[in-house]
Amino acid sequence: MIKCNDKTAEKIRKFGEGEYPNECCGLIFGKINKDGSKEINDILPIINAREDENKYNRFLITSKDMLKGELYARKNNTEIIGFYHSHPDHPAEPSKFDLDHAWPVYSYIIVSVVKGKSEKMTSWVLSSDRSSFQEEQII
């Protein structure tokens, strides 16, 4: 389970709509509770660094942007608990590419953006053996 307030969810949705027809991406900050649940306290939108011809179905967060996120987390006494991105004109479900590039423990929020309008938003966690994603309830 991951807790995401309406304001943060709206920011993710608006960023996805604004980047359409390309994928948007960003970092999710918060904390992981002892019971394994997560709480989002902030996000950092990242400009998709993927080459132009592939931005419509892939995203890339550079090491420079990851460092920026780590420094932000340290300064604000929080941690990176996941990533978000959009799926333009596709379901809010992880792709094979997402599976191949994800890391266990982190949350992966995906928002479907259809014809420029955000629709379903889901969250996923990669299994420890990296074989599949399990959907994580967003509350």
Residue 127: CB atoms within 10 Å: 12
pLDDT the model gives residue 86: 98
Residues 82/28, Cβ–Cβ less than 8 Å = yes
Dihedral in degrees, nearest 10, Cα atoms 118, 53, 107, 138: 10
Label residue 70 by pLDDT band (50, 70, 90).
Answer: very high
| Confidence (pLDDT) at 34 | 95
Q: How far is CA 55 from CA 30, 106, 114, in A?
A: 27, 22, 16
Q: pLDDT tens digits for 77-131? A: 999 999 999 999 999 999 999 999 999 999 999 999 999 999 999 999 999 999 9
The answer to whether the predicted template modeling score (pTM) of the entire model surpasses 0.85 is yes
Taken in order of first residue, the domains within the chain and their CATH numbers are 2-136 (3.40.140.10)
Averaged pLDDT for residues 63-78: 97
User: Residue 57 contacts by C-beta under 8 Å, 6 or more apart in sequence?
Assistant: 23, 88, 90, 95, 97
For 99, the enclosing helix (H) or strand (E) is helix 96-101
What tens digit of pLDDT does each residue of 25-57 get? 999 999 999 999 999 999 999 999 999 999 999
- What's the token pair of residue 56? 């419509």
Cβ-Cβ contacts under 8 Å for 90 (sequence gap 6 or more): 57, 112
- Across 1-22, average pLDDT: 98
